Structure 1
Amino acid sequence: MPQWVEAGVWGLAGGGALVVGALVAWFVRVPRDVVAVVMAFGAGVLIAAASFELVDEAEKTGGLLATACGFLGGAVAYVLANVLLARRGARHRKRSSDQPSESEQAGSGTAIAVGALLDGVPESVVLGVSLLSGGGIGVAMLAAVVISNVPEGLSSVAGMKQAGRRPGYVFGVWGAIAVASGLSAALGNLLLDGASPQLIAVITAVAAGAILAMVADTMIPEAFERARLYTGLCTTAGFLTAFVVERLG
């Protein structure tokens, strides 16, 4: 099997975890408290992945400046996308005493989907590039992607479903993101062979910046809105799980 095809398969596998989460949320009536707990756990996994698998690795390979620029760029891209969604009426934040409206539920789900795309594409590129060294796929990184993508898909689709989105729209969104992940991994392997460490660092850090912005702006607020006192513990558990996977990998 050509290496770029293998990279594409791994990228599709990571992105496919989003679809798995979406399927669970669509066909199984998951209580809102459970969705919140899973979302908080996924937030912790994402924070750990951004810290240990992305930012740290980017700084080691490409230097601090390239890492900082990519990191801020990813965060700005996510925030700008979220601002555009808010201006179209898809505001997802609400007071704790309010019940979420349909537009707020849809906005939260869409915001998570946007974040999944903005961090999933660079993440998949990183997976594809990891094969270029000849050491095989980064197991810890792949595990972190899968562990975090399932809660992302589940929590986003839960909001979309409650807001009345049709299945064609929901699975079209997540299927497209999964395919984009596979293509990104394949293209990353093909096009970045021999690329400068600084460029790789920027791409890696963009994923980390988008991840952290999404976690802070969407996932943790939404989880806290429902889980309250359990949010911190679940997020900590997710972080610790990803950290252990990274160290054992």
Structure 2
Amino acid sequence: MAAAFLWGALGASALLVGALIAYQLAPSRRAIAIVMAVGTGLLIGSVSFELIDEALETRTVAPVALFLLVGAGAFALGDWLLTRRGGGERKDAGGAQAAGSPLAIVLGSVLDGIPESFVLGLTVLQGGVSVSLLAGVLLSNLPEGMSSSSGLRSAGWTERNVLLMWSAVIVVAALSAAAGYVLLDPAGGRTGALVQAFAAGALLAMLADTLLPEAYKVEGVLTGPLVVTGFAVSIALSAL
């Protein structure tokens, strides 16, 4: 479990790196969008190869599909509630967060990090962290940290407050990875496979609701090829 905690913290640490880049280097929105789209493709590949495929080894298609939808619905509900409370623009790099609630922005960032951290903990349980999943988590968290922090800087947040926010998110992500290690055990039979499907659905919903829209705002039709590029890289890394 300690190893899962540390891997979860490592994956989420890209948020802190992204914040430092945003405040020190002021990256362009296009650079952020490119990394965001590629990271999305990597995570989609990881969900396919690390979660859904293995869940189907012990359960039939119907329950796996059902829990995939339940996971997506759970994330969508949480995202909807936080959007209503002022956290809907937490990933915007242009400063749209200025009109939002600081608490909702923090809670929204925590919500975004939980599914991928859960999944990361599962791969540690299976004998070693997944290279493709870790790369996907890093490449999704890096632009998230850059984009959100750029917007928060434009909205008047100090660098200290932003770094404290991401540090709190890293702790939650590490705890989520440890929880994934404990709860998402495929050897547990039916429960393990169904929780795998639930986590996969939540992660896919997070990508569709938060990362892809922000990438598409900047890259437009090039977002698709960039996502597929990330997916192709995930295939290659899964073969290692």
Aligned partner of 2:99 in structure 1 is 103
Shift of 1:192: 6.3
Answer yes or no: is 1:23 the counterpart of 2:15. Answer: no
8 Å Cα contact 2:216/2:223 also seen in 1: yes
CA distance in 1, matches of 2:30, 2:79: 25
CA distance in 1, matches of 2:183, 2:225: 41
In the superposition, the TM-score normalised over structure 1's length comes to 0.78
Equivalent AA in structure 1 for residue 146 of structure 2: L
Shift of 1:64: 3.0
Q: Write out aligned runs for 1:193-204 (5 A).
A: 196-204=188-196
8 Å Cα contact 2:35/2:140 also seen in 1: no
Q: How many residues align?
A: 237
In structure 2, which of residues 45, 50, 68 is the aligned counterpart of residue 48 of structure 1?
Answer: 45
In structure 2, which of residues 214, 221, 231 is the aligned counterpart of residue 222 of structure 1?
Answer: 214
8 Å Cα contact 1:115/1:210 also seen in 2: no
8 Å Cα contact 1:40/1:231 also seen in 2: yes
What SS does structure 1 have at the residue aligned with 2:156?
A: coil
Shift of 1:14: 2.1
Answer yes or no: is 1:32 the counterpart of 2:58. Answer: no
Shift of 1:187: 4.3
Equivalent AA in structure 2 for residue 220 of structure 1: L
Superimposed CA distance per residue, residues 195-239 of structure 1 (whole angstroms, 9 cap, x where no aligned partner): 523222233222221221122222222111112232122112111
Task: Pick closer, same or farther for the CA change 1:189–1:100 going to 2, 3 Å.
Answer: closer
8 Å Cα contact 2:30/2:218 also seen in 1: yes
Aligned partner of 2:71 in structure 1 is 74
What SS does structure 2 have at the residue aligned with 1:88?
A: helix
Q: Write out aligned runs for 1:1-249 (5 A).
A: 4-92=1-89, 102-103=98-99, 113-131=109-127, 136-189=128-181, 196-246=188-238, 248-249=239-240
8 Å Cα contact 1:122/1:206 also seen in 2: no
Indicate the larger mover: 159-168 or 210-219. Answer: 159-168
Superimposed CA distance per residue, residues 171-195 of structure 1 (whole angstroms, 9 cap, x where no aligned partner): 3332223222323333444566785
Equivalent AA in structure 1 for residue 10 of structure 2: A
What SS does structure 2 have at the residue aligned with 1:220?
A: helix
Equivalent AA in structure 2 for residue 120 of structure 1: E
Task: Pick closer, same or farther for the CA change 1:240–1:82 going to 2, 3 Å.
Answer: same
CA distance in 2, matches of 1:32, 1:105: 23
Task: Pick closer, same or farther for the CA change 1:48–1:191 going to 2, 3 Å.
Answer: closer
Indicate the larger mover: 161-170 or 203-212. Answer: 161-170
Where structure 2 has 5 or more consecutive residues not aligned to the other structure, the ranges are none
Shift of 1:88: 2.0
CA distance in 1, matches of 2:77, 2:164: 23
Task: Pick closer, same or farther for the CA change 1:155–1:110 going to 2, 3 Å.
Answer: farther
